[in-house]
A and B are shown apart, each in its own frame.
Chain A
Amino acid sequence: MQPPKRALQFLRWFCREDCIEEIEGDLNEMFRKNCQTSPRTAGWKFTWRVLRYFRPEFMKPFNNYQSNALGMYKSYFSIGWRNVIRNRGYSLINAGGLAIGMMVAIFIGLWVYDELSFNKYHRNYESIGQVWSFHSDPATSIVDGDKSMQYPVGATLRNNYGQYFKHVLMAWWPGNHTVAVDDKVMLKNGLFVEPGALEMLSLNMIRGSYKSLDEPHSVVLSRSTAEVFFGDEDPINKTVRLNGRMDAVVTGVYEDIPRNSNFGETQFFAPWDLWLSVNEWARRQEADWDNHPINIYVQLQPNVSMEEVNAAMKELYRKNMPADFYKTQERFDPFVQIIPMSTWHLYGNVENGKPAGGRITYVWLFAVVGVFVLVLACINFVNLSTARSEKRSKEVGVRKVVGSRKGQLIAQFLTESLVVVVVSFLFAMIMVGSLLPWFNRLTDKDTTLPLFNPVFWAMSLAFIVLTAMLAGVYPAFYLSSFQPVKVLKGVFRSGHFAALPRKVLVVVQFTTSVILIIGTIVVYQQIQFARNRPVGYQRSSLITVHVSDPAFQNKLDVIRNELRGSGVVAALTASSGPLTAIWNTTNGYEWKGKDPNMDASFAICNITTDFGETVGWEIVAGRDFSKEISTDSTEAIILNEAAVEYMGLKDPVGQEFTDVNEFGQKKWTRTIIGVVKNMVMESPYEPVRQTLYFYNPKVFLGLMHIRIDPNASAADALTKIKSVFNKNVPMAGFDYTFVDEEYARKFAQEERIGVLAGIFSSLAIFICCLGLFGLASYVAEQRTKEIGIRKVMGASVAKLWQLLSKDFMILVIIACLVACPLGYYLMTTWLLDYDYRTEVSLWVFVLTVIGAVLVTLLTVSFHAIRAALANPVKSLRSE
C-alpha cells in the first residue's frame, strides 16, 4: 500500500530540502503502521499530517532557491561589457550607429513635443478661440474665411450670445508699434486688446494683476521689455509713449510668454480703449457691417463646447445685420465660426469653415522619419549580432550544457543589448546637449533638454528599454535557440536561409534611406523652382519703411526731398500695402461681359507717383500711370494679368470698370489704362491673385518704398536714410524691411524642412553604410580561407573584389527598385499641396540610385579589397 500521491506531491513541492528526508521518512513509517491497524483511514491521516506541516518553518524560501541571483545578473553585465570591449570595432559600429539614431530620435522628439505643446502655456487654451467670418462664393460655392471681423460683431456676441462666453475681446492686429520711454525708442510687437486678455491668456503677472489693463491709459510689459527700458528700476507708474501719440502708465509686468505660443512675440498689452482714442475712424465702425477691420478673441464658459457655440451662432448675421443689408449679402451665405486656439498652430489651414490640417502633416512626417532612423540603427544591431552568432555559438552551447535555461540565455543577450543601448544613449545625450543650440537655430525654436523633468527621464527609460528590446529581441531568441549538441560538435552552419532575414533587413534599410534622399532632393527642387519663379518686379536693394504713424503726415514732403537729395536713393514711392503681402481685398465690381454670379473679389493696392519705376514692374499692355495726366487719379485703373484672366477680357486696355455698392448703385467708373505682369506678393507656391492698382498721388499712404542707388553701398545708404527719418520724426521708430529678405522669408518653412530632411537622410544613409561596413568586414573575415585558396589557384584581385561586393550590390539594387516607385508616389502626393509646383523628374531617381550604389560600393570595397590583397600564405598557414 502506498501513501496518497497528491499529498506526497504537495509535501515535496512546499517542504524545504533539508527537512524533507526526515519528515517524509517519518510520515511513511507511520503510514505503514496505520495501514496494519486501520487501512481505511491511513490515507486520510497521512494527508492530514502533511497539511499540518504546511507552515513557514518547513516551507521553501519564497525568493526561489537561487541564492546567488544577484551574482548571475552581475555576470550578465560583466560578460556583456567584456564582449563590448573585445570586439571594439563592431561595438563602435553598433553603439555609434545607435547613438546617431537615438540622437535623431531625441531631436525629433523634442521638436514634436514643442510643436504639440504649442499654446499650451495658456491654461485656458482649450476654451480660447478666435472668431472668423466666412462666406461662400456663389459661383463655385467654395467657402472662404478670414479672421478679420466687423466691429459690431463684438457687441453682438456680448449682448445676444453672452451666456456662452467668459470673455469677448475685441483687438487690433498684433504688430509692431513704437514704444518710447524718454528718448529711448524701440519697435515692439504688441497687442491692443480689451482688458480681459491678461486673465484669458493666464499670464504670469510679476507686477500688477489681471485688472492692470482696466484703466484706459495703462500698459502691461513683458519682463524682458521692462528690463530693456527700465533696467533695475521699478517700471510701475512710469510713463510710456506708444506710436508717438498714446501716453500710458505701466501698471503691470508679466513673465515673457514662451516662443511656442501664438502670443510668443507679444511684448506688451495695451487697452483697446487706448487704441480707439487715437483711431477715431474705428469708433465710426460701430454699426458698419460691411468693413472687416478688427480681430475678436473669445473664451468660452467652462461647461460650453465649441460645437455648441458654433451651432448657436450660425444665424448670427441673419439675425443681427440690418435686414436690407443682409439681403445684399444673402447669396454669399455669410456666417461666423470660432476657430479654437488648439488648432491655430497645427491645423492652421481653414477649409470650409473648419480647421483642416497644416503643420500637423510635418509633425507626423518627422515623427515617422525619427522612428525610421531609429529602426535603421536597430537593424544594424540585429544584423551584426546575428551575423556574428557563429562566433558565439560555442559559448551558447557550453552555457546550455552547464545548465542555462533558454530564458536565462535570452536574458543574457538582452542584457548585452541593454549595455550597448545605455552606452549609446549616453553618447546620444551628450551629442544632443552640445548640438541643441545649433538645432534651435536651424528650426527657429527654443527647446531645451528638460533634464529636471521626471517625465522626461521616465520616457528616456522607456525609450532605452524599448530600443534594447527592438535591437536585442531577435538576436536573443536566435542565439538562444541553438542546439548544444550540434554547436559543440562543430557541425553548426548557419544554413542558406539564416542570412535571409539579414538580407531583408538590409533591403529595408536602404529602401528607407533612398526614399528619404529622393524626398530631400524633391523638396529642394520645389524650393528652387519657386525661387526661380518670375516675381514681376525688382526686389533687390529695395526697402520698405512703415510711415503709417500720423507723425509722418506733415513731414513726408520734407523727408522725400531730403531723401532724393541724399544721393543714395534712386527712386521712391508709396503704397497702401506692402509688396510681399496683400492687405486689402474687396468685391462688387462690374465690367462688360461679367458673369452675374461672380463674386468679383479683387486684391487692392493704392499707389503713388513713381511706383512702377521704383519697384520695376513690367507693363505688358497699355501704359503706366503718369503724373502729367491729372485724370489718372480719378478715371484710370491698372490691372495685373491675373485680373485680366479672371475677368475674361480679350482686349482689356480702354475698357470700363465700374464699382457698385451693395444695392447695385454705381459708385464710379474707371478706364483700364494698362496691364502689368503678375507680381508675386503672397505665397510663391500659389497663383497670383487678381489685383487692382489705383493711383493716389495726393492721399497719405502708410508704406514708403525706397530703391537704393545701385552705386551706393547698402549699409551706407541705410544709415543716411535712417538719419533723415530720425531727424524729421524723432518720436517714431525707423521701421524698415528689405523687400528681398521679406520675400525670402516666404521660403523659410520649406527651407527648414529641406535642411532637416537633408540632415536626417544623410544620417540615415550613414547609419546604413555603417551597418554594411560591419557586415562586409564580417563576411571578409568569414571567407578569409576561401579567398586565400582562390588566390592560390590564380583568382585576380578584381575577381575577388567582385565576388565579395556582388551580394551587397544586389541588395542595394533591390532596395532602389522598391524605393523609386514609393518615393515617386509619396513626393507627387506632397507636391499636390502646392499650386505652383515642379515635376518629379526621372533624373532624381537615376541620380539617387547611382549615388546609393556608389556609396555602397565604396563601403563594401574597403573590406573586399583589403581581403583580396591579403597574402594567402598568412590566411592559410594558421589552422
Chain B
Amino acid sequence: MAQQILGEFEELVLLMVAAMHDEAYGVSILEGLEKELKKPLNISAIHVALKRMEDKGFVKSRFGGITEDRGGRRKKFYTVTALGKRMLDGQYALRSGLYKRIPKISFS
C-alpha cells in the first residue's frame, strides 16, 4: 500500500510506543525519546506523529482516568496495532538486512 509509509520520526515514536507497552501517552513518549536522543523535542511534534499514525492504523488509543496534575484532562494512551508491529518488523528486517551487507573493511 502506497500510503503506508513510515517517516523517520514516526518510526522513532512508534518504537517508543511499542517499547513502553500500554504506558505510552504524549508526555511519557516525549520524555523517553528526549532521554534516548539526548536532545529537546517539542510535544506538538509527538502529537502530530501520533495522530498521523493513528489515521494510518499503526497505533490505537484509549483514554485513561482523570488525574489531578493534568487539570482535569484524561491521559490518552497509545498501543501498537498488529499492522504497526508488522511495519516495525519490516523496517527492522530491511535495516538489519542492509546492515549485514556492509563489507567488513575499515572506514577511514
| Interface of A toward B, CB cutoff 8 Å | 3, 19, 21-30, 32-33, 49, 52-53, 55, 57-58
Q: In the complex, which of the residues A3, A27, A32, A55 contacts B43, with contact meaning CB atoms closer than 8 Å?
A: A27
Residue pair B26, A26 in contact (C-beta under 8 Å):
yes
Answer yes or no: B58 CB below 8 A from chain A CBs: no
Contact with A along B51-66 (1 / 0, CB 8 A): 1000000000001000
Partner of A28, one of B30, B42, B71: B71
Distance in Å: Cβ of A8 to nearest Cβ of chain B:
9
Quick check: A21 and B63 within 8 Å, CB to CB? yes
Which of B14-22, B72-80, B92-100 faces chain A?
Answer: B72-80
Q: Number of B interface residues at 8 Å Cβ cutoff, please give it.
A: 18
Among the listed B51, B63, B71, which residue makes an inter-chain contact with A19, where contact means beta carbons less than 8 Å apart?
B51
Would B26 and A22 count as touching, CB distance under 8 A? yes
Q: Given A28-B70, A28-B71, A57-B48, answer yes or no on A22-B76 (Cβ-Cβ < 8 Å).
A: yes
Closest to A50 in B: B44
Q: How far is the CB of B61 from chain A (nearest CB, A)?
A: 8
**Contact A49–B27 (Cβ < 8 Å):** no
- The interface centre, meaning the residue of A25, A32, A53, A55 with most chain B CB atoms within 10 A of its CB, is A25
| Pair A24/B48 contact, Cβ less than 8 Å | no
Hey, which chain B residues are within 8 Å of A33, CB to CB?
27
Q: Which residues of B contact A49 (CB under 8 A)?
A: 42-44
Complex Cα gap A52–B44 (Å): 6
A24-B27 Cα distance, complex, nearest whole Å: 11
Interface of A, secondary structure class, is helix
Known: A49-B42, A52-B44. A24 touches B51 (CB 8 A): no
Chain A residues closer than 8 Å to B69, beta-carbon distance:
28-29, 32
14 pairs across A/B with beta carbons < 8 Å?
Answer: A22-B25, A22-B73, A25-B26, A25-B71, A25-B76, A27-B43, A28-B69, A28-B71, A33-B27, A52-B42, A52-B43, A53-B44, A55-B44, A57-B48
Cα distance A33–B51 when bound, in Å? 24
Consensus secondary structure, chain B interface = helix
Complex contact B47–A26 (CB within 8 A): yes
B74 touches which of A3, A19, A21, A27 (Cβ 8 Å) = A21
* Beyond A21-B73, A49-B44, 8 additional pairs, beta carbon < 8 A: A22-B47, A22-B73, A22-B75, A28-B69, A32-B69, A49-B42, A49-B43, A52-B44
Question: Complex Cα distance A27/B25, Å?
Answer: 12
A25 touches B44 (CB 8 A): no
Chain B residues near A26 (CB-CB < 8 A): 25-27, 30, 43, 47, 70
Q: Which residues of B line the A interface, CB within 8 A? A: 25-27, 30, 42-44, 47-48, 51, 63, 69-71, 73-76
A23 to B25, CA, bound (A): 10
- For the complex, what is the distance from the CA of A852 to the CA of B71, rounded to whole Å? 75
C-alpha gap A57/B44 in the complex (Å) = 11
Q: How far is the CA of A196 from the CA of B108 in the complex (A)?
A: 99
Task: Say whether B42 contacts A57, CB under 8 Å.
Answer: no
Determine if A23 and B47 form an interchain contact, defined as CB atoms under 8 angstroms apart. yes
The answer for the CA separation of A52 and B71 in the assembled complex, in Å, is: 20
Shortest Cβ gap from B32 to chain A (Å): 14
Q: How far is the CA of A607 from the CA of B80 in the complex (A)?
A: 120
C-alpha gap A27/B44 in the complex (Å): 9
Supposing A30-B43, A49-B44, A52-B44 touch, asked if A25 and B75 sit within 8 A by C-beta, the answer is yes
CB neighbours of B70 from chain A (8 A): 25-26, 28-29
Q: Is the CB of B44 within 8 A of A24?
A: no
A58: chain B residues at CB < 8 Å are 47
- Distance in angstroms between the alpha carbons of A21 and B76 in the assembled complex: 8
Chain A residues, Cβ within 8 Å of B75: 22, 25
B17 to chain A, nearest CB (A): 14
Q: State in angstroms the CA–CA spacing of A33 and B76 once bound together.
A: 18
Residues from chain A with Cβ under 8 Å of B76 in the complex: 21-22, 25
Residues of B within 8 A of A3 (CB): 71
Residue of B nearest to A49 (CB): B43
- Nearest 5 CB-CB pairings of A with B: A25-B73, A26-B26, A28-B71, A22-B76, A52-B44
A32 surroundings in chain B (CB, below 8 A): 69
CA–CA, A27 and B27, complex, Å: 8
Known: A30-B27, A57-B48, A57-B51. Contact between A24 and B73, CB under 8 A?
Answer: yes
Residues on B with C-beta less than 8 A from A25 are 26, 70-71, 73-76
Closest CB of chain A to B8's CB: distance in Å? 19
Residue of A nearest to B42 (CB): A52
A55 vs B25: C-alpha distance in the bound complex, in angstroms? 21
In the complex the two chains form, what is the Cα distance from A28 to B25 in whole Å?
13
Q: In whole Å, how far is A41's beta carbon from the nearest beta carbon of chain B?
A: 13
User: A53 — which chain B residues lie within 8 A by C-beta?
Assistant: 44, 47
Question: In angstroms, how far is the closest chain B Cβ from the Cβ of A53?
Answer: 5
State A19–B48 Cα separation when bound (angstroms): 11
**Complex Cα–Cα for A23 and B73 (A):** 9
Contacting residues, chain A, for B71 (C-beta < 8 A) = 3, 24-25, 28
Task: Output the least CB separation between B34 and chain A (Å).
Answer: 11
Nearest-neighbour CB distance to chain B for A337, whole angstroms, equals 81
Query: What's the Cα separation between A425 and B42 when bound, in Å?
Result: 62
Q: Name the residue of chain A whose CB is nearest to the CB of B76.
A: A22
Q: Report the Cα distance A550→B43, complex, angstroms.
A: 109
Complex Cα distance A53/B27, Å?
15
Residues of A within 8 A of B73 (CB): 21-22, 24-25, 28
Enumerate chain A residues within 8 angstroms of B27, measured Cβ to Cβ: 26, 29-30, 33
Tell which of B26, B30, B74 has the most Cβ of chain A within 10 Å: B26
Chain B nearest Cβ from A24, distance in angstroms: 5
Q: How far is the CA of A49 from the CA of B47 in the complex (A)?
A: 12
Most B CB within 10 A of own CB, among A22, A23, A32: A22
